A and B are shown apart, each in its own frame.
Chain A
Amino acid sequence: MNLELRLPLADALLRLADDEMILAHRDSEWTGHAPILEEDIAFANIALDEMGHAGVWYRLVAELRGEDPDTHPDQLVFHRALDEFRCLRLVELPKGDWAFTIVRQFLFDSAEVVRLQALRRSEYPPLAKAAAKIAIEERYHDRHLRAWVRRLGLGTEESHRRMQAALDQLWPYATQLFEPQVSESELVAAGLFPASEPMAAEWAEAAAAILADADLKIPTVGPGMNGGRENHTDHLEPLLAEMQSVARLEPQASW
């Protein structure tokens, strides 16, 4: 690989890692509180899976940066400042009600399915290999989420109303899922990372079909949310304060 592309590729993977990590944290907030026991276990599994995926991406970031893949991920997660996180605003939002959680997770996981298929064709073999492995798990997440979207969308008057309200609120944030990045064109030209626009189109079509089947209407939104991934909602700060609190008590502790 062209050495000059190592750091831009690390940045691209850091975005994926931060998305998974912050979403995993939000998902974990349901542990012990999900609507029924079976779903509590299922959703805790999903949260753990997303955290595992974040770990895979953070390790690749470490390797591309020449850092220790065993210790750098913890540094990135627990000792990095708010303004260095590059997650989507979609994953920062508080967990809301169950419909909100389901719609957000569906939007994210259906996008992941598309992105991982494209990442499997990366010319950077460790990335292609990791994507192939994660894709298997995301296919299951996607099935689980599609099942919930359909049942709540077509369920009762209340479940449909809550799902539509969640979609209305979340859809504008979803436009950031495949927002083209500044350094993208070089990575795309080198075959290391997939271009955003074709993935955005593929995802939008797939998501629209599932939502239509669930009798949910995609809201019309104006131009997507302005500002890149260096801009965050006010919700990220308290999330990081909680997530990082224990590690920061004793930065040298070994776990």
Chain B
Amino acid sequence: MSDTQWPRYEVFVQERPGRPHQHAGSVHAPDPEMALLNARDVFVRRPECASLWVAPSATVRGGTAEELSQLVAAPVSEEGSPDIEYLVFAKLEERGTLAHVGEVHATGPDDALAAAKAAASRPPLALWVVPAARVERTLPEEAASMFDPSRHKPFRDQAFYHIQTALRRLRRDPLPIASLQNRGKKR
């Protein structure tokens, strides 16, 4: 069966300047620019955002703590020199998410994962490596039109509309059937 879906991109959101980019979820898109726009519309409607990164899911190599424990140090390939830059994302807390912690240079994804594991300050619960060249990023000059509008929109919890209160009142004190039937006909 042929897959008619657009490829998937992983989305990383930076809430404020200086904070790490954190994994937020994924979107489908035909190309990196559309992935960035879709990421904005799906993930940056209400929360604060200063910068967005997206990367094709297929370029992400990762593993959980258990998988990482079985990782054997990748054999250094003969021809390769460690000159591919990978971004490293680590999940360090049970309740946390994958957050950008730095970069490693490696010959390939497995090598990068091993290097990232070796460089970790404490054993991560999960690690991802993403080739830096495949990451599409918002530009600082785009930030205003991409992210400012969401800051000015009121966030309304469902409680704002008092629906629950109105329903409770209706249950306690039902409208007479006749008044319901006549609704809309009077004026």
Where the two chains meet, the residues of A that have a C-beta atom closer than 8 Å to any C-beta of B are 36-39, 41-42, 45, 49, 52, 133, 136-137, 139-140, 143-144, 147, 151, 249-251
A127 vs B118: C-alpha distance when bound (angstroms): 59
Tally inter-chain residue pairs, CB-CB below 8 A: 46
CB distance from B138 to the nearest CB of A (A): 11
Q: Is the CB of A250 within 8 A of B34?
A: no
Given known pairs A45-B41, A147-B34, A147-B37, the reply for A137 and B149 (CB within 8 Å) is yes
In the complex, the answer to whether A140 meets B45 with C-beta atoms within 8 Å is: no
When distances are taken between beta carbons in the complex, the residues of chain B under 8 Å from A144 are 37
Q: Is B112 among interface residues, defined by CB-CB distance under 8 A?
A: no
> Is the Cβ of B38 less than 8 Å from the Cβ of A42?
yes
Within 8 A of A (CB), among B27-41: 27-31, 33-34, 37-38, 40-41
**Per-residue A-contact encoding for B139-158, CB less than 8 Å = 1, 0 else:** 00000111011001100000
Chain B residues within 8 Å of A52, by CB? 153
CA distance A52 to B146 in the complex (A): 17
A42: B residues at CB distance < 8 A: 37-38, 41-42
Q: Is the interface of A mostly helix, strand, loop or mixed?
A: helix
Interface residues of B (CB under 8 A from A): 6, 27-31, 33-34, 37-38, 40-42, 45, 144-146, 148-149, 152-153, 183-184, 187
B108 to chain A, nearest CB (A): 31
Contacting pair A49 B34 (CB below 8 A)? no
- Using CB atoms, name the residue of chain B closest to A137: B149
Closest to B147 in A: A140
| B139 CB, min distance to chain A CBs, angstroms | 12
28 sample A-B contacts, Cβ–Cβ < 8 Å, listed by A number: A37-B28, A38-B28, A38-B42, A39-B38, A41-B41, A41-B42, A42-B37, A42-B38, A42-B41, A45-B41, A45-B45, A52-B153, A133-B152, A136-B144, A136-B145, A136-B149, A137-B145, A139-B145, A140-B40, A140-B146, A140-B149, A143-B145, A144-B37, A147-B33, A147-B34, A249-B184, A250-B184, A251-B187
A136 touches B148 (CB 8 A): yes
CA of A139 to CA of B149, assembled, Å: 11
- For A143, what are the chain B residues with a Cβ–Cβ distance below 8 Å? 37, 145
> Which residue from chain B places its CB closest to the CB of A39 in the assembled complex?
B38
- Distance from A149 Cβ to chain B, minimum over Cβ atoms (Å): 12
- Closest chain B residue to A38, Cβ basis: B38
Contact assessment for A151 and B28 in the assembled complex, using a CB-CB cutoff below 8 Å:
no
Residue in chain B with minimal CB distance to A142 = B145
Extra inter-chain contacts (6) besides given A38-B42, A151-B30, CB under 8 Å: A37-B28, A42-B41, A52-B153, A139-B145, A143-B37, A151-B34
Give 4 closest A-B pairs by Cβ, nearest first: A42-B41, A38-B38, A139-B145, A249-B184
In the complex, what's the smallest C-beta–C-beta distance from B2 to chain A, in angstroms?
A: 15
Chain A residues with CB under 8 A of B38: 38-39, 42
Closest chain A residue, CB of each to CB of B33: A147
Closest chain-A Cβ to B95's Cβ sits at a distance in Å of 27
CA distance A36 to B184 in the complex (A): 38
Residues of B within 8 A of A151 (CB): 30-31, 34
Q: What separation, in Å, do the CA atoms of A171 and B37 have in the docked complex? A: 27
Task: Tell me which residues across on chain B come within 8 A of A41, comparing CB atoms.
Answer: 41-42
Residues of B within 8 A of A140 (CB): 40, 145-146, 149
A249's nearest neighbour on chain B, judged by CB, is B184
Determine the distance from Cα of A251 to Cα of B183 in the docked complex, in whole angstroms: 11
Q: Hey, which chain B residues are within 8 Å of A38, CB to CB? A: 27-29, 38, 41-42
The distance in angstroms between the C-alpha atoms of A144 and B142, with both chains bound, is 13
Residues of A within 8 A of B40 (CB): 140
Q: Which B-chain residue is minimally distant from A150 (CB atoms)? A: B33
**A36–B41 CA distance with the chains assembled, in angstroms:** 13
